[in-house]
Structure 1
């Protein structure tokens, strides 16, 4: 099995719950299976509600750090002063204290969004959010081909919860030697990446070294998050779209696809 040992490999792992089932049109006895957990997470900043989303209930502080950064609520971990999470029966609430300047910027952004309700510019605002202007990365060298040896086996070994329950995406950070250092899992691929980014921020991982691997397809929002987090290299196990390749090249993000039975394909930088 590929080596994945680390001091913090998947802290606070997601718990899976056992549920019984019967096979349809079968006389087989009842059996049971582990299913991934899911919870509603409500996030407020300095007492003001901001977002509610469905996530997997593990590594929630990492998720909040990553979500705050990739949604441009903060620009660095030092602007998050405190995170307090309360668990309910089917939901979690997170009270996040951020720096005053970030909070005022957030409030101003909320007022601008509210002011466009019902007017003709709403569509333009939504497009601006979907296709934002980003700050281009510094060009970074591509990882060596040898680092992709047994990559899928490493990913499978790292997905501790998905092995038993399925239904989970994973985002992993591999260092310059190809060793899995961090793995975060979630029902949503964007959530998994936010959790990983949050963990990298908290542990002061150099995002310009190593590579981030996603088990999911490469959506445009993953490109946004990777560039905002200053990740040098993003690797996906499913093919990217044309638009994601264009954006990766535009913002100098190394983008690599690893097919099942072919060598890694470098889409960005352009060949």
Structure 2
């Protein structure tokens, strides 16, 4: 069976009004189970949009600490199954040994519900320390979020898809990925940037979602000093951003936003 690997599809519907029923179609987001496998063993199964799967594989592998660099993935293959997709990845010899040790640690302890996490202590694994001299004005931040909205091609059609983008003050949005899952969108963005060997210390990650601690962790591993989101953060996300040096801006809508950590990167007057 060949799957539909389009991230959006047309589905029949009936529009109901006060005095009429009108059959028609609506463009909706597709989602399916995506199995992440390393060296023949399943690591996690994610519900995700079937698009940019190579970017997803690389970004997920980096953000979850399975690999340290893109060349730790020797090969990546997308395998279609009747009910979903498998992203079949093979690790370098160097990473295979450490991955096998990690898999042995997973046998027995009760997990805490996060991918690849074998104990509660692992939830707050040490993050890179983010240092950057980047400063941006409030006007530039408002413009960045407007750019994000304009760049959401899939969401304009389906109205149910998250986006994560990387933005630079002098370039605007340089990369964007969309997915039904906010974590997936950010992993896909991380993979796309890593594949291009992009340095992230001179720009910001933009999100259409709330900010949970995993979103801060993934941003830190990308090396981005600013995280800007449309919705609010959690308390743990704020503490994580403060601890690793990320400037966290949230509730960024129109000309206003809220600064939660490291406000020195917001230039209230032109630098």
Report the TM-score when normalising by structure 1.
0.86
> 140-149 or 251-260, which moves further after superposition?
140-149
Partner of 1:173: 166
The 10-residue stretch of structure 1 (149-158 or 241-250) with the greater mean CA deviation from structure 2: 149-158
Q: How many residues align?
A: 254
State the match for 1:102 in structure 2. Answer: 95
Residues 125 and 20 of structure 1, relative CA distance in 2, 3 Å threshold: closer
Q: What is the CA–CA distance in structure 2 between the aligned matches of 1:36 and 1:152, rounded to whole Å?
A: 22
- Looking at structure 1, the residues matched to 244 and 86 of structure 2 have their Cα atoms a distance apart, in angstroms, of 35
Could you tell me how far apart the structure 2 residues matched to 1:87 and 1:171 are? 26
CA drift at 1:169? 0.5
Q: 2:10 aligns with which of 1, 10, 18?
A: 18
Q: SS at the partner of 1:205? A: coil
Is 1:114 the counterpart of 2:104? The answer is: no
Q: Tell me which of 89, 112, 137 is aligned to 1:144.
A: 137
- Contact kept? 1:147, 1:178, Cα under 8 Å: no
Rounded Cα–Cα distance in structure 2 between residues aligned with 1:90 and 1:180: 35
Distance between the aligned counterparts of 2:34 and 2:237, measured in 1? 28
Deviation (angstroms), 1:135: 2.8
Counterpart for residue 8 of structure 1: none
Aligned residue among 41, 44, 51 for 1:58: 51
Alpha-carbon deviations, 1:60-117, whole Å to 9, x = none? 1101101000100011112112111122344111111211221221111111121335
Q: RCO (CA 8 Å, sep 6+): is it higher in 1 or 2?
A: 1
User: Structure 1's 140 and 250: CA in aligned 2 closer, same or farther, altered over 3 A?
Assistant: farther
- Inter-partner Cα distance in structure 1 for 2:86 and 2:16: 38
Q: Secondary structure at the match of 2:42?
A: strand
Q: Alpha carbons of 1:135 and 1:259: their partners in 2 closer, same or farther (altered >3 Å)?
A: closer
- Distance in 2 (alpha carbons) for counterparts of 1:234 and 1:76: 22
Aligned CA distance change for structure 1 residues 140 and 102 (closer, same or farther; 3 Å): farther
Q: Residue 142 of structure 1 contacts residue 254 of structure 1 at CA under 8 Å; is this kept in 2? A: no
Note if 1:47 corresponds to 2:40: yes
C-alpha deviations, 1:19-71, integer Å up to 9, x for none? 11113575222121101111211121122221211110000110110100010
Q: Corresponding residue for 1:183?
A: 176
Q: 5+ residue gaps in structure 1?
A: 1-12, 119-123
Give the whole-Å Cα distance in 1 for the aligned partners of 2:6 and 2:147: 19
| Runs of 4+ more than 4 Å apart | none
Structure 1, 221-230 or 197-206: larger mean CA deviation: 221-230
Q: Which residue of 2 aligns with 1:127?
A: 120
1:234-262 deviation line (CA, Å, top 9, x unaligned): 11111212221111011001211243245
Residues 29-44 of structure 1 aligned to structure 2 (within 5 Å): 29-44=22-37
* Structure 2: 5+ residue stretches without partners: 112-116, 265-271
Whole-angstrom CA distance in 1 between matches of 2:68 and 2:32: 27
| RMSD (Å) for aligned C-alpha atoms | 2.2
